[in-house]
Structure 1
């Protein structure tokens, strides 16, 4: 089941990337703010409806974490849209995704003391090399 969820997340992330690139390629920059607003408002509404239907309530700390994640995500999306305006997608998307891989790996090691195998370390090192080669 976990693999299926990862595949679904992969496909949906691809749709988000395509939507971002389409916004830039079709010169729809004047709709950037509405794009970002709907991109983050839709999940907020869906999540609130799901919580309501299950009879759950959100704590203040949950709301703070959600707000922080929303601000970080919206800022990242805005930066990606701005980068796509001056970089080809073939450069911007791999650099962003490989950067995510490296950063997440490093945080996992430092914050949660996760241990990486030699092949996982090799993957992170190759990702850093790929970022340098692509950019």
Structure 2
């Protein structure tokens, strides 16, 4: 059953990428779409939560640590998207993608060394191959001229924030899943992301949304929400040190094939070799 949830999470993540790709091709404002996405995700997740059906009788006390985790993840979720977009513009796509993919080290380390998951040597080999394949499949790195230390920090921020976001989901499932449901937890994250994104737009004085942006935002919100929900369900049934590399590598493999089929991408020889190693790593991790 865990593999089914992984497949569903990956499918939703692939849908997010394609929706945002279409939005960019249509010259739409991504931050506006993200704000709508987080509002839609919050509403759907909150009203679908088990706690909502118990209102007003629900009186379970939520720990300050859990609230702090949800708030921090909510800030990181949207901040990471903004930083990632700026990093691509300032230091190049290759460096930015490499930073995001290699952040996989964080949740794997947390799963293995903080929560004491035990896996066999074959799965360790699968993890090493997965990390290697992700590096090989990064587009050719062409770093743009970096103006000042702030730009140089962008890939580092992506690496840290992406890693903490994934690790935070593992922390919830390991420490707080008995306090509140996955739906309520994710709704809290999305609410914070919506507030942060909305505040940015208000500060810019740019709070007008087109119907297309709202439509794309709602569509993104649905698949974005269930990408996180299904990932949490998978973490409940399988070790995080296995779930995270399988999800990331499968995303890259399928995303590459979609790019070839739909967007007419042309992978390099290095990327094709990374693709082959990625497929081998998936079999080792599933073995």
**Residue 282 of structure 2 corresponds to residue 125 of structure 1:** no
CA contact (8 A) 1:109 1:115 kept: yes
Residue 110 of structure 1 corresponds to 261
Q: Select the structure with the greater relative contact order (CA < 8 A; seq sep ≥ 6).
A: 2
1:112 alignment partner, SS class: coil
Which has the larger helix fraction?
Answer: 1
Which structure would you say has the larger Rg? 2
Task: Spell out the pairing of 1:44-123 with structure 2 (5 A cutoff).
Answer: 44-56=194-206, 57-123=208-274
1:36 alignment partner, SS class: helix
1:115 alignment partner, SS class: coil
Residue 35 of structure 1 corresponds to 185
Q: CA deviation at 1:113?
A: 0.9
2:267 alignment partner, SS class: coil
Q: CA deviation at 1:27?
A: 4.8
**Residue 20 of structure 2 corresponds to residue 20 of structure 1:** no
- Tell me the distance in 2 between the aligned counterparts of 1:29 and 1:103: 34
Larger displacement relative to structure 2 (92-101 or 9-18): 9-18
Q: How many residues align?
A: 135
CA contact (8 A) 1:102 1:127 kept: yes
What do residues 48-88 of structure 1 show as CA deviations (whole Å, max 9, x unaligned)? 22122212222111111122112111101111111111111
> Which of structure 1's runs of 4+ aligned residues deviate more than 6 A?
none
Normalized against structure 2, the TM-score is what? 0.44
Q: CA deviation at 1:93?
A: 0.5
- Tell me the distance in 2 between the aligned counterparts of 1:7 and 1:96: 22
RMSD over aligned Cα atoms: 1.7
- Tell me the distance in 1 between the aligned counterparts of 2:246 and 2:233: 14
- Tell me the distance in 2 between the aligned counterparts of 1:72 and 1:10: 23
